[in-house]
Chains A and B, each alone.
Chain A
């Protein structure tokens, strides 16, 4: 009697015991830091008098002050718009290229497939900062070999580190670095399509192009959604490229992207309270945008499945 009860007790507790490590880690390294950031976003320092000497600086409650400052900060808004423009170039170009490359690699006629796959993927293995530096040097007219050639050919030499071309220059870095990763994701799901489907298509007389458009693309739609989702998040969090290019040009403010704004407030101005509130707002915006997209995509898929 007692032994059997103990036994059932142990079985009941087991799931919780298994959950414990994950729960503890989640609480310690995820919930707690986020909670602390949220807490900080409602605090601020208050200095009395000249602020010199001990005890002149106190941390006090700020209410919603940091949030009103964040939401009325035009620089943050401009930063968001800049990133939006940047994302409008990066995401379609990068995913378009990734899909194209994946389809090409998947076709029967491709030669040297493993090498090509590696060559396209390789830029992804290069750290973002290194990639930005590398391209930055190529964009600087005085040291770039491209400009040297353009000059020799008497061709116009565009300034890639200013105005509109700057967006293209920066997008280029992201596309160069990110296409390989997305291609691999799409390619992997292409490989998972069963051969019977192709056989059926062939029997029906479908051309390779029709196979690609009518069969392959619809069947890899879930991974397209996934890569799109990742790309949106990465775009909203763009930081490395503009930060690395910043010292090379006057056209990139320290607040170019929202995350740069957070970094500036936290580590240059030393105001972690303001920075926390900005981080919270950005996190919320990212959440709404990315999950909003995911829901919309899921709904569409369900509708299509129901048809």
Chain B
């Protein structure tokens, strides 16, 4: 039976978890970061491609001098890594260093998996925009990670097709809606873009741009405001466009979506700075036909964007060499050599502000060779990123988003009802866990 493998997998996962707890008993009680002497070797869980090459630079350079050797263990990205870190942490066996998306930091900190490295990262703070840094400190004096890459959001469009259909690049969301309608009138079988319910990060970024603050704290209580007026505005806007049929409602990252981008059936994409990489694989035949512009604004004259994606390097509480690990994390994300290598070998967009316009970012990505100021523009847009507000159960909110908005997009029904579902599920989960949540 094709499906019995699944149950075996579940059973073995439980078995592994069990083994891990059994091992926990023999785990050493970790010593807090004392001054290190003698060689130190660290393990680093990351999904960034080409990270081993960057780490080689450390192992042969500053790491050799300090006798700190880092070993990269390649991981799957995103949510599954968070689960894996937490499972390893239960057994007190988490690796020294981990890559974590910004929205996962509160979850990891709330599970006591991340160490406060504020004393060991030196003046790293000055290298980053304050809105980016604030995500790694969770609004406290502690520092739980060093920012690595960011994903400021932008508007991508087919320059040639916009000209063909006589469309102008929208600067406000109202114009965006008008553009979508105008395109439908001129070419009914084409769509400006789609509202996709399979990546919650996009919606979170759009809400962030509108000024939403989904999780905040006051005193000992969390406040969850996923259905606040700013987010409602965003949800109703996209829900309206889907309902009237001005844009498509099918998910992104499917073969059908790739084809739509590649053949010009969809002619724009609200995305982030990493879009060139995705477009290169999704729509290879339209290379050089796209252009990037700032995200449309809610009121003209404004200049704000959200962020979609981005990650940081964190040190775990299980590490026996926290100071050494923090030193590496700071080097990796602030040192010029490291940042250039990260840009070249891993293709990331660095969080460190001075790296955003230097070296690898002097010329545009190959896919956007027609837009020579791509990265100058990107750096300017990155500066306008609105602050984000993540909470300890982003995973629950995101999972609920997938289903609630998936159904709403399919049925072309009320998006704000889906938003309420998301809010209620998130609050219910927090209450179940025992968090104090203010109404």
Give chain A's interface residues, CB within 8 Å of chain B. Answer: 29, 32-34, 36-37, 44-57, 69, 124, 127-128, 131, 137, 140-143, 162, 174, 177-178, 181, 230-231, 233-235, 237-240, 247-255, 259, 262, 264, 266-272, 279
**Interface centre among A47, A69, A251, A255, by most B CB within 10 Å?**
A47
**Interface centre among B253, B395, B403, by most A CB within 10 Å?**
B403
B2 in complex: contacting residue of A32, A240, A247, A279, CB < 8 Å = A240
Q: Can you list 21 A-B pairs with a CB-CB distance of less than 8 A?
A: A33-B18, A45-B433, A47-B110, A47-B434, A50-B436, A124-B2, A140-B254, A140-B255, A178-B2, A234-B3, A249-B250, A250-B251, A250-B406, A250-B407, A255-B403, A259-B6, A259-B7, A267-B79, A268-B79, A268-B395, A269-B399
- Report if A247-B110 is in contact (Cβ < 8 Å); known contacts: A178-B2, A237-B4, A240-B3: no
B255 in complex: contacting residue of A53, A128, A137, CB < 8 Å = A137
Tell me, yes or no, whether B82 is within 8 Å of chain A by CB: yes
Tell me, yes or no, whether B111 is within 8 Å of chain A by CB: yes
Tell me, yes or no, whether B348 is within 8 Å of chain A by CB: no
Contacts of A174 in B (CB 8 A): 2
Contacts of B110 in A (CB 8 A): 47, 51-52, 56-57
Give A181 to B138 CA distance when docked, in angstroms: 55
- Report if A234-B410 is in contact (Cβ < 8 Å); known contacts: A52-B140, A249-B251: no
Contacts of A266 in B (CB 8 A): 83
**Interface centre among B5, B18, B398, by most A CB within 10 Å?**
B18
Give A271 to B255 CA distance when docked, in angstroms: 32
Count chain B residues whose beta carbon lies closer than 8 angstroms to a beta carbon of A: 61
Within 8 A of A (CB), among B91-125: 106-107, 109-112
Q: Indicate if the CB atoms of B86 and A253 lie closer than 8 Å.
A: no
Give A1 to B83 CA distance when docked, in angstroms: 64
Q: Indicate if the CB atoms of B435 and A240 lie closer than 8 Å.
A: no
CB distance from B17 to the nearest CB of A (A): 8
Tell me, yes or no, whether B317 is within 8 Å of chain A by CB: yes
Contacts of A262 in B (CB 8 A): 10
Give A57 to B90 CA distance when docked, in angstroms: 12
Q: Indicate if the CB atoms of A29 and B15 lie closer than 8 Å.
A: yes
CB distance from B343 to the nearest CB of A (A): 30
Contacts of A264 in B (CB 8 A): 399
**Interface centre among B86, B217, B395, B407, by most A CB within 10 Å?**
B395
Give A248 to B253 CA distance when docked, in angstroms: 8
Contacts of B138 in A (CB 8 A): 52
Within 8 A of A (CB), among B44-95: 79-80, 82-83, 86
Chain B interface mostly helix, strand, loop or mixed? helix
Q: Indicate if the CB atoms of B435 and A50 lie closer than 8 Å.
A: yes
Give A177 to B140 CA distance when docked, in angstroms: 55
Give A220 to B30 CA distance when docked, in angstroms: 63
Q: Indicate if the CB atoms of B433 and A237 lie closer than 8 Å.
A: no
**How many residue pairs at the A-B interface have CB separations less than 8 Å?**
155
Kindly list 15 other residue pairs between chains A and B, CB separation below 8 angstroms, not including A178-B1, A259-B7, A262-B10.
A36-B17, A50-B217, A52-B392, A54-B112, A127-B2, A142-B255, A142-B259, A143-B259, A234-B3, A237-B3, A240-B6, A250-B406, A269-B396, A270-B82, A270-B86
CB distance from B406 to the nearest CB of A (A): 4
Give A254 to B197 CA distance when docked, in angstroms: 12
Q: Indicate if the CB atoms of A234 and B1 lie closer than 8 Å.
A: yes
Tell me, yes or no, whether B249 is within 8 Å of chain A by CB: yes
Tell me, yes or no, whether B256 is within 8 Å of chain A by CB: yes
CB distance from B134 to the nearest CB of A (A): 15
Q: Indicate if the CB atoms of B407 and A253 lie closer than 8 Å.
A: yes
CB distance from B87 to the nearest CB of A (A): 9
Q: Indicate if the CB atoms of A33 and B2 lie closer than 8 Å.
A: no
Contacts of B112 in A (CB 8 A): 53-57
CB distance from B439 to the nearest CB of A (A): 16
Give A253 to B61 CA distance when docked, in angstroms: 49
Tell me, yes or no, whether B432 is within 8 Å of chain A by CB: yes
Q: Indicate if the CB atoms of A239 and B3 lie closer than 8 Å.
A: yes
Please provide the 3 A-B residue pairs with the shortest distance between their CB atoms, ordered closest to farther: A234-B1, A128-B2, A250-B410
Contacts of A142 in B (CB 8 A): 255-256, 259-260, 265
Q: Indicate if the CB atoms of B260 and A128 lie closer than 8 Å.
A: no
Contacts of A252 in B (CB 8 A): 406
Give A54 to B80 CA distance when docked, in angstroms: 23
Binary interface encoding of chain B residues 420-439 relative to chain A, with 1 for a CB under 8 A from any of its CBs, else 0 = 00000000010011111000
Give A248 to B407 CA distance when docked, in angstroms: 13
Q: Indicate if the CB atoms of B392 and A250 lie closer than 8 Å.
A: no
Within 8 A of A (CB), among B177-224: 197-198, 217, 220-222
